[in-house]
Structure 1
Amino acid sequence: MIVTKTKRGTNLEDVQEMNRSLVIRLMRRRQVCSRAELTQESGLNQSTITNIINELISWGIVVETGVIDGKKGRRSIGIKLNCEPYKIIGIRLARKSITVALYDLEGIEYSKQQIPIDIADGSTRAFNRMKELIKEMISSNSVGQVIAIGVVTPGPLLRNEGRIGLMTYFPGWEKINIQEELMRDFDLPVYIEHDAKAGALAHWWFGNSHQEQGVMIYVAAGQGVGAGIVVDGKVFRGSLGMAGEIGHMSIDFKGPKCECGNRGCLELYCSTSALLQTLNKEHASLKSVWKAIHEEETGDAVEAVRQAAWFLGFGLVNIINTFNPDRIILGDEFAEAGALLHDTVRSVINEYVLPDVSNKLTVELAADDMDTMLVGSAIVAIESILDQPSSYLNQQT
Structure 2
Amino acid sequence: MMPPRTHVSAPAGEPDPSRRNNLSLLTSLVHHQRIVSRAQLTRQTGLNRSTVGTLIGQLISLGLVFETAPAGEGQVGRPSPEVHPSPSVAALAVNPEVDAVTIGLVSLGGKVQKKIRFETERIPTAREAVNIASAVIAGMRTELDASYRITGIGMAVPGLVNRDDGVVRHAPHLGWRNEPVARMLAEATGYPCQAANDASLGAEAELIFGAGAGRANLIYLNGGASGIGGGIIADGQLLRGASGYAGELGHTFVRTGGTTCHCGATGCLETEVSQSRLLELAGLSSGDTADLERALGNSSSPEVEAEVARQLEYLGLALRNAVNIFNPDAIVLDGFLGTLHALSPASLGGILLSQAMDGPAAQANIYRAALGSDLMMIGAAELAFTPFLADPAGLGAVPAPASQTG
TM-score of the superposed pair, with normalisation by structure 2: 0.83
Aligned position for 2:11: none
Q: Does 1:263 align with 2:258?
A: no
Aligned position for 2:388: 385
Report the alpha carbon displacement of residue 328 of structure 1 after superposing the two structures with TM: 0.3
Q: Tell me, what secondary structure is at the counterpart of 2:170?
A: coil
Percentage of pairs with the same residue:
27
Q: Does 1:196 align with 2:191?
A: no
Deviations 1:337-389 (A, max 9, x none): 45235433222222211232212210122237443122211122223421222
Distance (whole Å) between structure 1 residues aligned to residue 275 and residue 72 of structure 2: 52
Deviations 1:285-322 (A, max 9, x none): 46786444212344212211221221111111111111
Aligned position for 2:35: 31
Distance (whole Å) between structure 1 residues aligned to residue 190 and residue 114 of structure 2: 22
Q: Equivalent of 1:156, from 152, 156, 160? A: 160
TM-score of the superposed pair, with normalisation by structure 1: 0.85
Aligned position for 2:216: 214
Deviations 1:70-128 (A, max 9, x none): 99832256252341221211112222111111111111122111011244664433331
Q: Does 1:84 align with 2:75?
A: no
- Asked whether the 8 Å contact 1:68–1:75 carries over to 2, the reply is no
Of 195-204 and 289-298, more deviation after overlay is shown by 289-298
- Asked whether the 8 Å contact 1:306–1:340 carries over to 2, the reply is no
Q: Does 1:235 align with 2:238?
A: yes
- Asked whether the 8 Å contact 1:117–1:126 carries over to 2, the reply is no
Aligned position for 1:7: none
Report the alpha carbon displacement of residue 20 of structure 1 after superposing the two structures with TM: 1.4
Compute the RMSD of aligned alpha carbons: 3.1
Q: Does 1:58 align with 2:61?
A: yes
Distance (whole Å) between structure 2 residues aligned to residue 13 and residue 102 of structure 1: 33
Report the alpha carbon displacement of residue 66 of structure 1 after superposing the two structures with TM: 5.2
Q: Does 1:311 align with 2:314?
A: yes
Unaligned runs of 5+ in 1: 1-10
Aligned position for 1:8: none
Q: Equivalent of 1:97, from 95, 100, 105? A: 100
Distance (whole Å) between structure 2 residues aligned to residue 67 and residue 170 of structure 1: 49
- Asked whether the 8 Å contact 2:155–2:195 carries over to 1, the reply is yes
Q: Does 1:376 align with 2:379?
A: yes
Aligned position for 1:353: 356
Distance (whole Å) between structure 2 residues aligned to residue 325 and residue 46 of structure 1: 37
Q: Does 1:124 align with 2:113?
A: no
Q: Tell me, what secondary structure is at the counterpart of 1:301?
A: helix
Q: Does 1:112 align with 2:115?
A: yes
- Asked whether the 8 Å contact 1:119–1:170 carries over to 2, the reply is no
Q: 1:121 to 1:178 in 2, by over 3 A?
A: closer
Q: 1:46 to 1:123 in 2, by over 3 A?
A: closer
Aligned position for 2:182: 179
- Asked whether the 8 Å contact 2:98–2:124 carries over to 1, the reply is no
Letter in 2 for 1:170: L
Letter in 1 for 2:141: I
Report the alpha carbon displacement of residue 215 of structure 1 after superposing the two structures with TM: 0.3
Q: 1:300 to 1:107 in 2, by over 3 A?
A: same
Q: Tell me, what secondary structure is at the counterpart of 1:315?
A: helix
Q: Equivalent of 2:141, from 111, 125, 138? A: 138
- Asked whether the 8 Å contact 2:62–2:396 carries over to 1, the reply is yes
Q: Equivalent of 1:147, from 135, 148, 151? A: 151
Distance (whole Å) between structure 2 residues aligned to residue 120 and residue 50 of structure 1: 52
Q: 1:281 to 1:297 in 2, by over 3 A?
A: closer
Q: Tell me, what secondary structure is at the counterpart of 1:240?
A: coil
Report the alpha carbon displacement of residue 329 of structure 1 after superposing the two structures with TM: 0.9
Report the alpha carbon displacement of residue 39 of structure 1 after superposing the two structures with TM: 2.5
